[in-house]
Amino acid sequence: MKAVQPIRDMELLDKCLFIAREHDKNRKKGEVSWELLLIVGFNTSLRISDIRRFKVKDLRGKDYAEIKAQKTGKEARILINPHARRVINRLLAGRPGDEYILQSKQRDAATHKVRPITRQRAYQIINTIAKKAGIQDHIGCHTLRKTFGYHAWKQSVPPAMLMDIYNHSSYQITKRYLGIDQDDKDQVFEKIRL
């Protein structure tokens, strides 16, 4: 199975955000905000399994996203950059604090409580956006997390920091995870002027 890829091209990334905003202009009350899914995913480095568990009160008006990672059990405290914070606050304005930020219309069969969207629904949304944007790469839920890391790496975030953010044991794992390829290496050599 082919690994999901980050969105490397900034124009495609902007196009995805534009598509999400356009979708949200026409969404019905109670439907998931596609822009919110992308903004939180692209700016926090979190897995979709953690993003979907956030409630409005966890992010609205907050400087940090704090969560105990479902996969690793580790506590994460992630600064929300000012741009993402403004978008998140705008998209969560007026919503009850106990709602999931990505709330499903469906209820849990046993408890009848409202639940967050499923990983499968997040996957459908992300793939719909990617197809509309003309992205040919293999895209999935991890694309959001990988896109964060890829662009952090492109902006010269030290490899050790990315390893720590992703909780990887080696830079080789992080490099493979981010999808760093020959084109990326070539760009480094093009920029060096001695």
> DSSP letter string over 102-147?
TEEEEE-TTT--EEEPPHHHHHHHHHHHHHHHT--S---THHHHHH
Residue of 168, 171, 176, 185 with catalytic role: 168
The set of residues, in sequence order, having a beta carbon less than 8 Å from that of 29 and lying 6+ positions away, is none
In the residue annotation, 74 being an active-site residue is answered as: no
In the residue annotation, 145 being an active-site residue is answered as: yes
**pLDDT for the residue 12:** 97
**pLDDT for the residue 18:** 98
CB-facing half-sphere around the CA of 124: CA atoms within 13 A: 6
**pLDDT for the residue 1:** 63
**pLDDT for the residue 82:** 96
Angle at 52 between CA 32 and CA 87, to 5 degrees: 60
**pLDDT for the residue 112:** 78
The set of residues, in sequence order, having a beta carbon less than 8 Å from that of 20 and lying 6+ positions away, is 33, 34, 35, 37, 38, 129
In the residue annotation, 146 being an active-site residue is answered as: no
**pLDDT for the residue 14:** 97
Residue of 8, 47, 60, 85 with catalytic role: 47
CA–CA distances in Å: residue 17 to residues 37, 88, 170: 10, 13, 32
**pLDDT for the residue 3:** 86
Q: Name the residue among 120, 145, 117, 140 with its Cα closest to residue 129.
A: 140
Q: What is the pLDDT along the chain (194 residues), one digit of tens a residue?
A: 678 999 999 999 999 999 999 999 999 888 999 999 999 999 999 999 999 999 999 999 999 999 987 777 778 899 999 999 999 999 999 999 999 999 998 877 788 788 999 999 999 999 999 999 999 999 999 999 999 999 998 888 888 888 888 888 888 888 887 777 777 777 777 777 77
Residue of 23, 85, 145, 146 with catalytic role: 145
Phi, psi angle pair for 127, to nearest 5°: -70, -35
Residue of 15, 60, 85, 142 with catalytic role: 142
185, amino acid identity: K
In the residue annotation, 52 being an active-site residue is answered as: no
Residue of 2, 25, 71, 191 with catalytic role: 71
In the residue annotation, 168 being an active-site residue is answered as: yes
